[in-house]
Structure 1
Amino acid sequence: MKITLTSLFLVVCLALSAGQAYAEKADRDKPMNIEADSLRYDDQRQTSVFTGRVVLTKGTILIRGAKIDVKQDSEGNQFGLVLSEPNKQAFFRQKREGVDEYIEGEGDTIEYDSRADTVKFLTNAKLRRYRGATLSDEFTGGVIQYNNSTDVFTIDGSVTKTDGVKSGRVRAMLTPKSDSGTPKGALAPLVPALRSTTTMGTDKK
């Protein structure tokens, strides 16, 4: 079946069954733990800059990079900017609630926003879903934004060249969910729907 897209933007719903499984909800309230070679902390501005083989954990969330700049607002919301090491990419991984599934992604830069509960992968972005240890779905694009609270992500395939011209494509590999656990007579889970949008991060129905 050929799918024609009117735009290089995609919104992909990851819920494949009637009982939707979202990202691990408890992660939002877990403490943020970070290991690095060095730290510069500014108490007045509530900023922390970690550099050198940085590893961040927050519940089931795991983030790795060369540098992580963390800010916290007056309400306790945390915002992170992750930069990659040379010849590597910044890395993000999180468990989905209630199922043995994980979402992981990579990008030259990663932006984490605990208030909006979103993660954005910038430049050469990749997003993968694993069922157990098996790769299920994989997506690549210029920019990928993942909403942890809704399990919806937006992919922008375009990248801007030095001459200002945008080019690029979204690539997706989707694996149908096995219906071996579906009771006889019940409807099998649906393959994820692809919907186009023209605004990054917008979920249009």
Structure 2
Amino acid sequence: MRALLMALAIASTLAAVPARAEKADSTKPMNVEADALRYDDLNQTSVFTGNVVVTKGTIIIRGAKINVKQDPEGYQFGVVTAAPGQRAFFRQKREGVDEWIEGEGETIEYDGKADRVKFIGRAEMRRYRGTELSDETSGAVITYNNTTEQFNVDGNPGGATPSNPGGRVRATIGPKPGASAPAAPAAPATKLRQSSTLGGEKR
């Protein structure tokens, strides 16, 4: 009976406060929508299946299944898996700037306590400035740390795919905002001299 009440309590969070761009996403409640839920009170785990959509502060996660475990401090660790042949999706706003981190992978691991996300299998991560794509990278595994704003990318030379025959890391890095081509050399100064005409006529 207690487990059923806890499951209903979790389900009730689906109508919680909408996501906002706030600094500590890791401390925000995790809201989940799915076709089915299996809750284990003893192990403090929840398994959501079927068209899963997760929101947590500015974070949005989508996949076929997510297994969520909560520690005694209230932090969540989630493992998201995609449907066969597809990839799960993750998106989060960066604090203080109009930038978003977005990524995909066959499996996504989210660690709320460490504020870290890992994309595994056909991994791809993008950074948007506003709506414009700025940077893009792909590899076998990508680990992004939101606290330090650093990420690591591992390739898989032995696991080439049709989209990446070499299995190597690929990256496209855009220029920083405000960057422009070097200014052209200034034209030589022209010495002004007095004219004896005004409007084409003698003064």
Aligned-pair CA distance for 1:120: 0.3
1:127-149 CA-to-partner distances (Å, cap 9, x unmatched) read: 00000111000000000000011
Q: Which residue of 1 aligns with 2:98?
A: 100
Q: Confirm or deny: 8 A CA contact 2:105 2:119 kept in the other structure.
A: yes
Residues 24 and 94 of structure 1 are in contact (CA less than 8 Å); yes or no, is this contact kept in structure 2?
no
Q: Does 1:172 align with 2:166?
A: no
- Deviation of 1:60 after TM superposition, in Å, equals 0.2
Deviation at 1:125, TM superposition (A): 0.3
Aligned partner of 1:5 in structure 2 is: none
Between stretches 86-95 and 171-180, larger displacement belongs to 171-180
Q: Whole-Å Cα distance in 2 between the matches of residues 136 and 116 of structure 1?
A: 25
- Structure 1 residues 152, 24: closer, same or farther in 2, change over 3 A? farther
Could you tell me which residue of structure 2 aligns to residue 71 of structure 1? 69
Runs of 4 or more off by more than 4 Å in structure 1? none
Partner of 1:130: 128
| Higher RCO structure (Cα 8 Å, ≥6 apart) | 1
Q: How far did 1:109 drift?
A: 0.3
2:177 maps to amino acid: S
Determine the C-alpha separation between the residues in 2 that align with 1:159 and 1:107.
Answer: 17
Q: 2:157 and 2:92 mapped to 1: Cα distance?
A: 26
- Cα deviation 1:132-181 (Å, max 9, x = unaligned): 111000000000000011110000012555xxxxx721100011013279
Q: CA deviation at 1:24?
A: 5.1
- 1:88 is matched with which residue? 86
Tell me how far 1:47 sits from its aligned partner.
0.2
Partner-residue secondary structure (3-state), 2:119: strand
Q: Shift of the alpha carbon at 1:107?
A: 0.2
Q: Flag the 1:118–1:97 CA change in 2: closer, same or farther, 3 A.
A: same
Identity %: 66
Task: State the Cα deviation string for residues 7-54 of structure 1 (Å, max 9, x = none).
Answer: xxxxxxxxxxxxxxxx95221111000000000001111000000000
- RMSD across aligned positions (CA): 2.0
Q: State whether structure 2 residue 45 is matched by structure 1 residue 55.
A: no
Corresponding letter in the other structure for 1:174 = I
Question: Going by fraction, where is helix more abundant, 1 or 2?
Answer: 2
Q: Which amino acid in 2 is paired with 1:139?
A: T
Letter in 2 for 1:76: G
For 1:1-205, list aligned pairs within 5 A: 25-158=23-156, 160-161=158-159, 168-179=167-178
Quote the residue 2:9 is aligned against.
none
- Aligned-pair distance for 1:77? 1.6
8 Å Cα contact 1:90/1:109 also seen in 2: yes
Q: What is the CA–CA distance in structure 2 between the aligned matches of 1:82 and 1:25, rounded to whole Å?
A: 23
Q: Higher Cα Rg: structure 1 or 2?
A: 2
Q: Could you tell me the TM-score, scaled by structure 2's length? A: 0.72
* Alignment deviations for residues 40-99 of structure 1 (CA, whole Å, 9 cap, x no partner): 001111000000000000000000000000001111121000000233210000000111
The CA distance in 2 between the partners of 1:49 and 1:159, in whole Å, is 34
Unaligned residue ranges in structure 1 (runs of 5+): 1-22, 162-166, 182-205
Q: Is residue 27–residue 75 contact of structure 2 (8 Å, CA) maintained in 1?
A: no
> Contact 1:25/1:149 (CA < 8 Å) preserved in 2?
no
